[in-house]
Amino acid sequence: MSKDQSEIWTKPTVSASTYGNTVASVQNIRAAMQKNCKMTSMRYLLAFCLMLLWATVAAAQTGNEPVCIQCHDADMMKPAFRKIPAEWRQSWHHQNGVSCHDCHGGDPTDAAMAMSPQRGFVGTPKYQGVPEFCGKCHVGILKNYIESGHGKALKASGSGPNCVTCHGAHDIRKANIDIINEQRCSQCHTYERAGIMKQALFATERKIRDIENALKKLSSQGMYTAEEDKTLFRTEAEFRTLFHTVDVSLVKEKTDGFDKQLDGLRKKTDSLFAELESRKSFTGLLTLLFAGAGVVVYLLAKTYR
Residues 171-210 that bind ligand HEC (CB under 6 A): 172, 174-177, 179-180, 184-185, 187-189, 193-194, 197, 201
Contact track, ligand HEC, 30-49, x by CB under 6 A: --------------------
The residue within the footprint of ligand HEC, chosen from 22, 59, 106, 214 (CB under 6 A), is: 106
Which sign does the torsion angle of CA 273, 279, 282, 286 carry? Answer: negative
Least gap, CB of 201 to ligand HEC (angstroms) = 5
When asked if residue 108 is in the footprint of ligand HEC (CB under 6 A), the reply is: yes
Distance in Å from the first CA to the final CA of the chain = 64
Least gap, CB of 23 to ligand HEC (angstroms) = 25
Stretch that binds ligand HEC, among 3-11, 206-214, 219-227, 243-251 (CB under 6 A): 243-251
User: Under a CB-based contact definition with an 8 Å cutoff, are residues 119 and 106 in contact?
Assistant: yes
Stretch that binds ligand HEC, among 48-56, 111-119, 224-232, 264-272 (CB under 6 A): 111-119
User: Under a CB-based contact definition with an 8 Å cutoff, are residues 67 and 79 in contact?
Assistant: no
39-70 CB burial, b ≥16 within 10 A, e <16: eeeeeebeeebeebbeebeebbeeeeebbbbe
Question: What span, in angstroms and rounded, lies between the C-alpha atoms of 105 and 41?
Answer: 50
Question: What span, in angstroms and rounded, lies between the C-alpha atoms of 98 and 271?
Answer: 42
Least gap, CB of 56 to ligand HEC (angstroms) = 24
Total of residues contacting ligand HEC (CB under 6 A): 78
Of 64, 62, 65, 67, nearest to 112 by C-alpha is: 67
Residue closer to ligand HEC (CB basis): 40 or 128: 128
When asked if residue 103 is in the footprint of ligand HEC (CB under 6 A), the reply is: yes
Stretch that binds ligand HEC, among 53-61, 142-150, 272-280, 286-294 (CB under 6 A): 142-150
Residue closer to ligand HEC (CB basis): 26 or 180: 180
Stretch that binds ligand HEC, among 49-57, 77-85, 216-224, 272-280 (CB under 6 A): 77-85
Residue closer to ligand HEC (CB basis): 5 or 261: 261
The residue within the footprint of ligand HEC, chosen from 46, 57, 71, 276 (CB under 6 A), is: 71
Least gap, CB of 97 to ligand HEC (angstroms) = 7
Residues present in the chain in total: 305
Residue closer to ligand HEC (CB basis): 69 or 223: 69
Of 45, 27, 28, nearest to 36 by C-alpha is: 45
Residue closer to ligand HEC (CB basis): 49 or 211: 211
